């Protein structure tokens, strides 16, 4: 884990939340001790990935005493439209798409904008590459190429349901995950669980421990942080399948489409939204084929949803 100090002068312990179920937490104390902990209501937003201070009890669970300041937090609205923290202190979003189900490019764009807001890097994983010949249209292949052209790493993998990685980019993916706290995101059915199983040979051992921790209560829906064999961590969460952008400004959306930065300085207006203003260098670049037209149309759609 990234927190190297395990104790404080008062005898309290420092660790990292690796799973949460309700008010119950599983906290890992360096180097490899896992402690069950209970959080009071004032710590309602504690999440997987949080660095925390706990105090052991003579009997029963440890108590959560404090949450360290976060680098960032990935959130989503709950059924009452209140923001719920999915995971904290993320270094990199691993956005998984596949040829079957077909890529949902707008969802990918939302994740990339979010990565920019989190000050996190992002990598695009095209899984089920073995299905490309059957399902990848020329338009879809061009769309995937566009992400590489604007600087996002694009890794092609074939993660099998039996956790065996055939020819593909597993080794490349492992390298780009090393030393970072990563979270797997993407729509249902793209193979996130198969990828996690391939990257984490000891995952089933951990799942068994989480099941005991959660006492059998739907622990398959628990966000969990796993240590990667080569260094770094991987957060596997069911809470990031259907993802909408949090409340952001038009300026923040614009910044999330990072290929526009090289052109926006040439716009007539400093606050140009690149939608309708005269003298827009970004729109001119789209018309001239210098910027991807389909991605620009998705940008306009996201822009229209901001009020």
DSSP states of 144-172 as a string?
HHHHHHTT--EEE--B-TTS-B-SSSHHH
Regarding the domain with residue range 73-240, which homologous superfamily does it belong to in the CATH classification? P-loop containing nucleotide triphosphate hydrolases (3.40.50.300)
- Label residue 209 by pLDDT band (50, 70, 90): low
Output the DSSP codes for 177-190.
HTTSEEEEE--TTS
**What's the whole-number average pLDDT of the chain?**
87
Residue range(s) occupied by CATH 2.40.50.140 in the chain: 13-67
pLDDT digits (tens, 9 = 90+) for 153-192: 999 998 664 444 444 478 899 999 999 999 999 988 898 8
pLDDT digits (tens, 9 = 90+) for 63-122: 999 999 999 999 987 777 788 899 999 999 999 999 999 999 999 999 999 999 999 999
- Measured between its terminal Cα atoms, the distance across the chain in Å is 40
Residue range(s) occupied by CATH 1.10.40.50 in the chain: 250-304
In whole angstroms, what is the distance from residue 254 CA to residue 102 CA? 26
Residue range(s) occupied by CATH 3.40.50.300 in the chain: 73-240
Q: Would you call 297 helix, strand, or coil by DSSP?
A: helix
Give the domain 13-67 fold: OB fold (Dihydrolipoamide Acetyltransferase, E2P) (2.40.50)
pLDDT at position 164 is 41
The architecture that CATH gives domain 250-304 is Orthogonal Bundle (1.10)
pLDDT at position 240 is 66
| More confident of the two residues 251 and 60 | 251
In whole angstroms, what is the distance from residue 113 CA to residue 216 CA? 36
């Amino acid at each position: 884990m990234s927190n190297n100090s395990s104790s404080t002068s008062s005898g309290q312990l420092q660790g990292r939340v690796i799973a949460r179920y309700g008010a119950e937490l599983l906290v890992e104390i360096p180097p490899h001790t896992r402690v069950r902990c209970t959080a009071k209501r004032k710590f309602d937003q504690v999440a997987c990935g949080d660095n925390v201070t706990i105090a052991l009890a003579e009997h029963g669970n440890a108590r959560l005493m404090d949450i360290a300041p976060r680098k960032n937090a990935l959130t989503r609205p709950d059924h009452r439209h209140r923001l719920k923290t999915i995971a904290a202190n993320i270094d990199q979003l691993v956005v998984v798409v596949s040829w079957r189900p077909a890529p949902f490019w707008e969802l990918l764009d939302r994740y990339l904008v979010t990565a920019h807001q989190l000050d996190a890097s992002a990598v695009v994983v095209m899984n089920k590459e073995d299905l490309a010949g059957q399902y990848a249209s020329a338009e879809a292949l061009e769309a995937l190429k566009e992400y590489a052209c604007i600087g996002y790493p694009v890794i092609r993998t074939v993660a099998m349901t039996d956790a065996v990685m055939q020819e593909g980019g597993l080794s490349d993916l492992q390298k780009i995950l090393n030393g970072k706290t990563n979270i797997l995101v993407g729509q249902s059915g793209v193979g996130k669980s198969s990828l996690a199983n391939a990257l984490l040979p000891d995952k089933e051992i951990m799942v068994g421990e989480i099941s005991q921790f959660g006492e059998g209560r739907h622990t398959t829906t628990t966000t969990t942080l796993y240590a990667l064999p080569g260094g770094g961590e991987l957060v596997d969460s069911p809470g990031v399948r259907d993802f909408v952008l949090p409340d952001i400004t038009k300026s923040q959306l614009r910044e999330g489409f990072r290929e526009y930065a090289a052109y926006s300085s040439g716009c007539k207006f400093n606050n140009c939204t690149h939608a309708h203003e005269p003298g827009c260098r970004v729109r001119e670049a789209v018309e001239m084929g210098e910027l991807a037209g389909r991605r620009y149309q998705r940008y306009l759609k996201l822009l229209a949803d901001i009020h």
